[in-house]
């Protein structure tokens, strides 16, 4: 059953956007205000950075996701510089909507560590979540982590594949 669900959620060209947003909503549900830390605009990034201080896979994910964000920012600035200098362009957000909105979750899936990070959050939930959060539930939290593990295994995503799918988003 889990294999079939995962196969439906993953496109051939990469990670579909809707399930990634659902995973992000589950991870953010009931998050304590303190857990978001200083990056209020990107709560997932702040949470993963905080987890990375005590969990090595999250630390490695943070490093990789920040590198990808830097690549996106560099491409964006190169694109703006190559356009006509006579016309003033409005300042764009730091990350592209497709590549940046869920970049941290997508990177965690691509690196096959999201299930481990979610399981860590479930085991240490009282530090990060209110008591009514999804990940604080003794049944729902481990089930979500298990499904995420199945998702990455069944998706066919490999670390040695081109990272272009993380930056470009799904092809429509």
Domains contained in the chain, CATH given = 2-80+92-158 (1.20.58)
Q: Which of the two residues, 104 and 98, has the higher pLDDT score?
A: 104
Residue 126 Cα to chain centre, angstroms: 22
Whether residue 157 has pLDDT greater than 80: no
Tokens at 104, concatenated: 């941290």
pLDDT tens for 107-156 read: 998 889 999 999 999 999 999 999 999 999 999 999 999 998 887 656 55
pLDDT tens for 14-69 read: 556 778 889 999 999 999 887 666 656 788 998 999 999 999 999 999 999 999 88
Q: How many angstroms separate the CA atoms of 103 and 97, rounded?
A: 9
Task: Choose among 72, 85, 83, 74: nearest CA to 169.
Answer: 72
pLDDT given at position 54: 94
pLDDT tens for 81-90 read: 776 454 554 5
Pinpoint the alpha helices (H) of 15-128. 17-28, 33-36, 43-52, 56-82, 97-100, 103-110, 114-123, 125-128
The model scores a pTM over 0.95: no
């Amino acid at each position: 059953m889990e294999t079939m669900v995962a196969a439906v959620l993953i496109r051939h060209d990469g990670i579909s956007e809707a399930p990634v947003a659902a995973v992000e909503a589950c991870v953010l549900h009931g998050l304590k205000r303190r857990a978001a830390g200083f990056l209020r605009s990107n709560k997932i990034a702040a949470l993963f950075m905080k987890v990375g201080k005590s969990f090595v896979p999250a630390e490695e994910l943070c490093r990789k996701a920040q590198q990808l964000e830097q690549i996106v920012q560099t491409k964006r600035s190169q694109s703006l510089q190559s356009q006509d200098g006579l016309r003033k362009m409005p300042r764009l957000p730091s990350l592209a909507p497709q590549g940046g909105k869920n970049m941290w979750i997508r990177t965690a899936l691509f690196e096959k560590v999201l299930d481990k990070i979610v399981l860590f959050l479930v085991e240490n939930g009282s530090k990060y979540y209110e008591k009514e959060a999804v990940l604080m539930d003794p049944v729902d939290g481990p089930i979500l982590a298990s499904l995420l593990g199945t998702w990455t295994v069944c998706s066919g995503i490999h670390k040695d594949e081109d990272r272009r799918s993380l930056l470009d988003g799904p092809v429509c």
